[in-house]
A and B are shown apart, each in its own frame.
Chain A
Amino acid sequence: MMIQMHNMGEVETFLINLPKKLDKELSKTNKNFMVQVLKGAKKRAPKDTGGLKESIKLKPVRRGKNVKKWKIVVGSPHALFQEEGFTPHSFFAGNTFNSKKLPGGVTYFVSKWTPFMKPAVEEQIKTFSEKLNNAVDKAIKGRLK
Chain B
Amino acid sequence: MASTISKESMIPDIWKNFYDIAKTVTTVSITGPQIITIQNYVSSFPDQLIDSKSDYPILVVNDPDAPTEILTIGKTKVNGSIELEIYTTSGESASKFLSKIIYAIETSAKSLAEVGIKNIEVADTSQDSVKRSFKLHSRSVTFDFTYHYARTGGF
Question: A residues within 8 Å of B by Cβ?
Answer: 28-29, 32, 36, 39-40, 43-44, 47, 50, 53, 120, 123-124, 127, 131
* In the assembled complex, B88 has its CB within 8 A of some CB on chain A: no
Number of A-B contacts defined by CB within 8 Å: 30
Q: List 22 A-B contacts (CB under 8 A).
A: A29-B124, A32-B123, A32-B124, A32-B126, A32-B142, A36-B126, A36-B128, A36-B140, A39-B128, A40-B128, A40-B130, A43-B130, A43-B136, A43-B138, A47-B51, A50-B47, A120-B128, A123-B128, A123-B129, A124-B128, A127-B126, A131-B124
The closest CB in chain B to the CB of A124 belongs to B126
6 tightest Cβ-Cβ pairs between the two chains A and B:
A43-B130, A36-B126, A40-B128, A123-B128, A32-B124, A44-B130
Interface of B is mostly: strand
Question: B residues within 8 Å of A by Cβ?
Answer: 45, 47, 50-51, 123-124, 126, 128-130, 136, 138, 140, 142
**A-chain residues with CB within 8 Å of residue B129 when the two chains form the complex:** 123
A131 to B: closest C-beta gap in Å: 7
Question: CA A36 – CA B85 in complex, angstroms?
Answer: 11
Interface of A is mostly: helix
**A-chain residues with CB within 8 Å of residue B45 when the two chains form the complex:** 39
Question: CA A43 – CA B138 in complex, angstroms?
Answer: 10
The closest CB in chain B to the CB of A128 belongs to B126
**Which of the residues B50, B124, B138 comes within 8 Å of A47, measured between beta carbons?**
B50
**A-chain residues with CB within 8 Å of residue B130 when the two chains form the complex:** 40, 43-44
The closest CB in chain B to the CB of A123 belongs to B128
Question: CA A131 – CA B122 in complex, angstroms?
Answer: 13
**A-chain residues with CB within 8 Å of residue B142 when the two chains form the complex:** 32
Residue with the greatest number of chain B CB neighbours at <10 A, chosen from A29, A53, A123 = A123
**A-chain residues with CB within 8 Å of residue B47 when the two chains form the complex:** 50, 53
B16 to A: closest C-beta gap in Å: 22
Question: CA A40 – CA B142 in complex, angstroms?
Answer: 16
